[in-house]
Amino acid sequence: MKSFEYVHILNIEEQQDYISFFRQKHNDGLAKVRRFIKDNSTKLIEEYNIFEKELVHQYKEDLDSYYAKIDLWHAKKCYCGSDLVFKNDYGFWGCPNYWSKTNKHVTFKHNQSEVFSQNLKHIKVRLSHNWSTEILKRCKLNKQITAKELILFYESQGLEDLRAKYGFKHSLKSISSFILANEHSKREEKEIKDFLNPFFEKSNYQMYIKFKKISGKEEIRILDLVVSDEKNVFLIEIKRHNIYIDSEQLCLYRDLLQYIMTQKNDKRILVPLFIVNEYYRQSINNSSCINFNELKEISSKTAIKEMFIKNAFS
């Protein structure tokens, strides 16, 4: 087992201190970002306008070259001015001077009209989902300002989200999906906790553990769920689905909890395991885990414990 200088479970007060410390840190960070935006507001607005102008210009060029090609098709002419010839053997229209390198040439398929109407559907404003980060990079402020805060700033100035303006999904919807996923997983954790609670004498949800490895620095980790009875302590790590399984993480948690148990002379058997909400068989991660959808079909404690022990992480 890894050697620790100390390991202990935070009490409620220490937990609150830890949470407010992080909240404070987050707020300080946000205040700093907003200061950077304020100090660079003129430049950021300028870059927005330049960026949008370039975008529209590119779009017009794409359309122009599309229509220029259609004109050539109708006139059966090449870029170089030569009349196109239909190559019967190959089934396409080509330029007789294709070998000349001084000009660009064109070829058309026999069903070119269909190709054109397909192509038109794909001509769109070339706007990536991280356009705001691109602007920040141009301003050399991508280390200081987050994409989300920049978009909020633009909107406060009456400058629309460019993705929304040009027919894509609003940028903040893509950015916040990670945050949403995080909240979602908290809900899933609670569902698993609520399911297991009636079966076990003790249940500990989100256990904050402070520890220091020898010659390491102090760290705090949050264990998702620990349920126990007189024989076993089940250390449960909950994941959205099995590709997020992190063996090292659970190894560390197991060592921490085992350390605490040994100190308390707790002789019960510690069983670490993963519970996932979705399981992908194709996943490269073959660690054993329990699928919550299968678990919640079980209605006896004996069967649950059996499942836990059989699928324990080792």
- Tell me which residues touch Zn ion (CB under 5 A): 78, 80, 82, 95, 97, 105
C-beta of 102 vs 156, nearer to Zn ion: 102
Are the C-beta atoms of 223 and 257 separated by less than 8 Å? yes
Smallest distance from the beta carbon of 138 to Zn ion, in angstroms? 39
Write down the residue that tokens 């659970």 correspond to.
250
Q: How far apart are the C-alpha atoms of 126 and 290, rounded to whole Å?
A: 44
Beta bridge partners of 109: 92
CB of 71 to Zn ion, least distance (A): 15
68 or 179: CB nearest Zn ion:
68
Beta bridge partners, 4, equal 213
> Nearest distance from residue 181's CB to Zn ion, in Å?
53
Report, in Å, the least distance between residue 77 CB and Zn ion: 8
Place of tokens 């069967």: 303
Cα(210)–Cα(53) distance, integer angstroms: 53
Of the candidates 236, 219, 307, which has an alpha carbon nearest to the alpha carbon of residue 276?
236
The nearer residue to Zn ion, 80 or 115, going by C-beta atoms, is 80
Largest alpha-carbon pair distance within the chain?
93
In the bound state with Zn ion, the residue whose beta carbon lies nearer, of 82 and 258, is 82
| Cβ proximity to Zn ion, 21 vs 90, nearer residue | 90
CB of 107 to Zn ion, least distance (A): 9
- Rank residues 93 and 259 by Cβ distance to Zn ion and give the closer one: 93
Q: Are 307 and 298 in contact (CB under 8 A)?
A: yes
Gyration radius from the chain CA atoms: 30
- The CB-of-29 to Zn ion minimum distance in angstroms stands at 59
Neighbours of 48 (CB within 10 A): 20
